[in-house]
Chain A
Amino acid sequence: KAGVTQTPRYLIKTRGQQVTLSCSPISGHRSVSWYQQTPGQGLQFLFEYFSETQRNKGNFPGRFSGRQFSNSRSEMNVSTLELGDSALYLCASESTGNSYEQYFGPGTRLTVT
């Protein structure tokens, strides 16, 4: 079974621009979560989508948004990029049922200049 895939793996953007990151979960997984990893703040939860609905949300400004499609693929968007948005963005998928295991993708490294 293929793992969680994220595209692109690396991205360089300029302050003020917007960016869209993509995540394809493991086949059959309907829950997708997004996390931001920075040296200063560590790993922080952004949001979770399940069956195209946002189920949980972390404490991030409205510039961070996401969506999930009917095939469970998810995208996250960051508008009006700031230097502090430079981070590794990780996507994780979880199967339905009671496994309670999240499988992480390799991440997208976003650099804002």
Chain B
Amino acid sequence: AQSVTQLDSQVPVFEEAPVELRCNYSSSVSVYLFWYVQYPNQGLQLLLKYLSGSTLVKGINGFEAEFNKSQTSFHLRKPSVHISDTAEYFCAVSRAGTASKLTFGTGTRLQVTL
């Protein structure tokens, strides 16, 4: 079984500042890792995924994440946030070979202010 820990429930940040949302996972088997964003009253949108290969993955809307196997982490970063990035962000893991049966973290609320 897999588990995901998102260390921060809320992250306040000023517009144009950099941000990092932290995610750690636990698994006894190889995994795929994902970051999703959820805007109010909407479903989840995939930001980026790590399957294998390069540990730095780039996603949509200027987000990127780095897979660190030794620290079992997959932190999400953006060098300069915008007001429109205000949303809930979820880290998720699946067993390698499938994207279904995702295990999600509890989410991080990113609040961007002027």
Contacts and interface: CB of A to CB of B under 8 A. Distances in A.
B43 A106 contact: yes
Interface in A60-113: 90, 92, 94, 99-107
B50 to A, nearest CB: 10
A92 B45 CA distance: 10
Given A4-B43, A106-B43, A43 B90 contact: yes
B43 A105 contact: yes
A90 B99 CA distance: 15
A4 B105 CA distance: 23
Contacts of A94: 99-100
B101 A42 contact: no
B83 interface: no
Contacts of A33: 100-102
B107 to A, nearest CB: 7
Interface in B83-114: 90, 92, 94, 98-107
Contact of A31 (B46, B100, B107): B100
A4 B45 CA distance: 12
B100 A104 contact: no
B51 interface: yes
Contacts of B102: 33, 35, 43, 45, 102
Contact of B101 (A48, A100, A101, A103): A48
Contacts of B100: 31, 33, 45, 48, 55-56, 94, 102
Given A55-B100, A94-B99, 5 more contacts: A42-B106, A56-B101, A94-B100, A101-B99, A107-B42
18 contacts: A4-B43, A43-B92, A43-B107, A45-B102, A48-B100, A48-B101, A56-B101, A100-B32, A100-B94, A100-B98, A100-B99, A101-B49, A102-B46, A103-B46, A105-B43, A106-B42, A106-B43, A107-B43
Interface of A: 4, 31, 33, 35, 42-45, 48, 55-56, 58, 90, 92, 94, 99-107
Interface of B: 32, 36, 41-46, 49, 51, 90, 92, 94, 98-107
